[in-house]
Amino acid sequence: MDYRLSPRYKFPTEQQDAFDAYLWVLENAEQIHIDPQKIAVCGDSAGGNLSAVVCRMAQKQKIQMPCAQELYYPFANMDTETNSMKKYRNAPMCGGKQSKVFNKLFFGDMPEPLEYASLVEAENLEGMPPTYIESAEYDPLLDGAVAYGEKLKVSGVAVEENHTKGTMHGYDIAVDSVFVQTLMKKRVAFLKRYFQQR
């Protein structure tokens, strides 16, 4: 999706662009020959935030929810003082120190509503779609991903978690590796399960 990017466009422009794209797909499902009951959202890192926010916006606006969401090492918590943020301050690809810079560029001043930036701040996640969360071991975003998964489960949402080991943020760059190809099979299997239920 070609959404407007920070820092030129501040929060919540990107989130709204993602939601508008979802609405367009829903409204044009017949024209583009898809089943509107079989739309899932997927994203990695900041894209994981956008995917989850699409579902949260759908929940709050009481419109049709995606049938599933897949989030790969997602940005789910603005807090840059979590254990993983401090422990992996200098991690490759995305370190805790960089995350503070990214937050400032992405969000500017403290965003409102905060829950669209920091999903762990959402008060009620009931009715969110079945969720697959994949995380990286050496990733400052790890604690946020785990906390978001726990919050979903407390709200009664079906959550499948795959906390990968020996990995860093952005490991999908090794797209041809056996490791990533194995993960792809798990992701596809998750989506198939929910596509076939409807």
Positions marked active-site: 45, 139, 169
Beta carbons within 10 angstroms of residue 71's beta carbon: 28
Query: How are beta strands 131-135 and 40-44 bridged, if at all?
Result: unpaired
What's the CA gap between 115 and 122, in Å, rounded? 5
DSSP β-bridge partners for residue 71: 43, 133
Beta carbons within 10 angstroms of residue 104's beta carbon: 12
